[in-house]
Amino acid sequence: MAVSIGRCLAADACLLILTLTFHHSNSDNIVAGASTEEAPHRRFEYKYSFKGPHLSQTDGNIPFWVHSGNAIPSADQVRITPSLRSQKGSVWTKNTVNFDHWEAEVTFRVSGRGRMGADGLAIWFTTAQGLDGPVYGAADNWNGIGIFFDSFDNDGKKNNPAVLVVGNNGKLVYDHPNDGTTQALGTCLRDFRNKPYPVRAKITYYKKTLTVLINNGFTPDKDDYEFCTKVDKMIIPQEGYFGISAATGGLADDHDVLSFLTFRLTEPGQELPAPEAEMPKEEQDKYQEEFENFQQELDKKKEDYQKEHPEVQREPIEDMYESVNDREIRQVFEGQNQIHLEIKQLHRQLAMILDEQNRYVSVVTDEISKRQVELVGQVGSLYTHRPSIKEGRFHSLHQANPVSMGTYETVQHFSEIQEHLHVVKRNIEHLITQKCPDPPKMPSCLGTIHFLVFVVIQSVLFFSYIVYKSQQEAAAKKFF
């Protein structure tokens, strides 16, 4: 653990070099280890993570996490410590994590009114939950690793706020007076307090290399990470708890954690372990119980509300009937469509009738004019040979042949028209008597408008028939 204060005690210079060296050239490739190396597979692990907007349950706990001290979970964040003196708090995963490689993305805010704040915040991966203690609110002599965001400059070297990585095998006592610089495996200077956007830390442990990237909260861009530090050949326990803790001292900041997202990393080509199949039974029962409690509470609140506001009690019932209205409208619409189809069919049949009538009229006209010509010819020859009987014969011929023929055709014609009109009538009767799909509580299946439309259609048909009949009669009389 003799990480050289010597190497980095010239802290500013050391950090500056580190920063300059890695900041632009390597930061993007640090995680992968080298520019040519393929990036690891990354799988989100919800059981070791929390985030808003439903971070905490109704009982104030965080699913899969425990909290202690002054930590206050709420829907969208965990306030690890409020900005009061001598506060301590922490949040830990309930179960241990056992990944070969992992990544943790932690989003937090450290905010206070003072130019300086205290004490700081720590992200942990340790073999035991350090629920209470002097190291940023967590236990000392930890076995594992801590990434510290040290706000307060205990040693007065004007090198805080700073970020440092400190490993421990369970025997080391944290060097608070020197801000841990005697024990840091890696460090960088970052002011993470009072930033316009939340600060983000991405801690990656991949192939025995621990890398810390920081998004300094100056931009809303979540991926705007900068390299902070890297520790090679880092051996940490295979199995441990993730945790985050914070403490205040004489000065005090709010330490708020918005999210803690854990990812399992897998080397490319390696098989991804199957996710844990099912939730343990006790957890299922717990969630089920919570759901039932919530449901009961909701029902009770509904009842209370209805008792308090009897005047609005009917609203939900009316809402229920709205769907019935929708159904009625749909049925009316379908009925209208049906009527529309029937009318179209009627229109087609009427067009056919008119066409037939025109054909008959032209046939009759042609026939009559042909006969007339023949008759005139016959009358002419009769008149030439037998002038004495000219008038009487002409009358008898004129009355006999064309009239008998015209009568026959006209009768046939009218019977056909009658037949067609019967068809039309039957169709309309069918249309009128046809029932729409029965909507519930519909007053009538045929609306006033449709009834009027049918009356108009019938009247038109009737008048057309009358007009046509009178025309036919007139035409017939003309020839008689």
Interacting stretch for Ca ion, rule CB under 5 A, among 125-133, 156-164, 316-324, 446-454?
A: 156-164
- Residues contacting Ca ion: total by CB under 5 A: 9
We find the least distance from the C-beta atom of residue 163 to Ca ion, in angstroms, to be 12
Structure tokens at 460: 């038109």
Give the other-Cβ count within 10 Å of 119's Cβ. Answer: 29
Closer residue to Ca ion (CB): 184 or 353 = 184
Cis status of the peptide bond prior to 161, with omega within 30 of 0: yes
We find the least distance from the C-beta atom of residue 266 to Ca ion, in angstroms, to be 37
Closer residue to Ca ion (CB): 97 or 244 = 244
Site string for Ca ion, 37-56 (x = CB under 5 A): --------------------
Q: Phi and psi dihedrals of 274, rounded to 5?
A: -65, 140
We find the least distance from the C-beta atom of residue 184 to Ca ion, in angstroms, to be 11
Interacting stretch for Ca ion, rule CB under 5 A, among 44-52, 171-179, 278-286, 323-331?
A: 171-179
Q: What Å distances lie between residue 279 and 92, 166, 276, 282, 473, CA to CA?
A: 19, 34, 8, 8, 93
Q: How far apart are the first and last CA of the chain?
A: 133
**Region 393-452 residues binding Ca ion, contact defined as CB under 5 A:** none
We find the least distance from the C-beta atom of residue 249 to Ca ion, in angstroms, to be 9
Q: In angstroms, rounded to a whole number, what is the distance separating the alpha carbons of residues 419 and 397?
A: 33
We find the least distance from the C-beta atom of residue 5 to Ca ion, in angstroms, to be 12
We find the least distance from the C-beta atom of residue 186 to Ca ion, in angstroms, to be 16
Long-range Cβ contact pairs of 369-378 (< 8 A, separation 24 or more): 371/401, 371/402, 371/405, 372/402, 375/401, 375/402
Q: Does 169 bind Ca ion (CB under 5 A)?
A: no
Interacting stretch for Ca ion, rule CB under 5 A, among 73-81, 172-180, 308-316, 420-428?
A: 172-180
Closer residue to Ca ion (CB): 156 or 220 = 156
Interacting stretch for Ca ion, rule CB under 5 A, among 151-159, 352-360, 420-428, 439-447?
A: 151-159
Closer residue to Ca ion (CB): 152 or 242 = 152
Q: Does 157 bind Ca ion (CB under 5 A)?
A: yes
Give the other-Cβ count within 10 Å of 10's Cβ. Answer: 12
We find the least distance from the C-beta atom of residue 156 to Ca ion, in angstroms, to be 7
User: At which residue do the structure tokens 């029965």 appear?
Assistant: 438
We find the least distance from the C-beta atom of residue 282 to Ca ion, in angstroms, to be 41
Closer residue to Ca ion (CB): 185 or 424 = 185
Closer residue to Ca ion (CB): 143 or 160 = 160
Interface residue with Ca ion, options 56, 70, 160, 248 (CB under 5 A): 160
Interface residue with Ca ion, options 77, 90, 159, 168 (CB under 5 A): 159
Closer residue to Ca ion (CB): 188 or 258 = 188
* Sign (positive or negative) of CA dihedral 19, 23, 24, 29: positive
We find the least distance from the C-beta atom of residue 160 to Ca ion, in angstroms, to be 4
Q: What Å distances lie between residue 174 and 143, 248, 251, CA to CA?
A: 12, 17, 20
Q: In angstroms, rounded to a whole number, what is the distance separating the alpha carbons of residues 234 and 143?
A: 13
User: At which residue do the structure tokens 């600060």 appear?
Assistant: 199
Q: Phi and psi dihedrals of 402, rounded to 5?
A: -60, -40
Interacting stretch for Ca ion, rule CB under 5 A, among 157-165, 334-342, 343-351, 404-412?
A: 157-165
Q: Does 367 bind Ca ion (CB under 5 A)?
A: no
Beta strands in 207-271 (DSSP E): 209-215, 226-231, 241-247, 254-266
We find the least distance from the C-beta atom of residue 217 to Ca ion, in angstroms, to be 20
Nearest to 75 by CA among 50, 94, 49: 50
**Dihedral angle, C-alpha 19, 20, 21, 24, nearest 10 °:** 100
We find the least distance from the C-beta atom of residue 90 to Ca ion, in angstroms, to be 17
Interface residue with Ca ion, options 155, 283, 290, 367 (CB under 5 A): 155
Interface residue with Ca ion, options 50, 142, 152, 242 (CB under 5 A): 152
DSSP class of residue 221 equals: -
Please report the DSSP string for 272-292 in residue order.
PPPPP-S--HHHHHHHHHHHH
Q: Does 150 bind Ca ion (CB under 5 A)?
A: yes
Binding site for Ca ion (CB under 5 A): 150, 152-155, 157, 159-160, 179
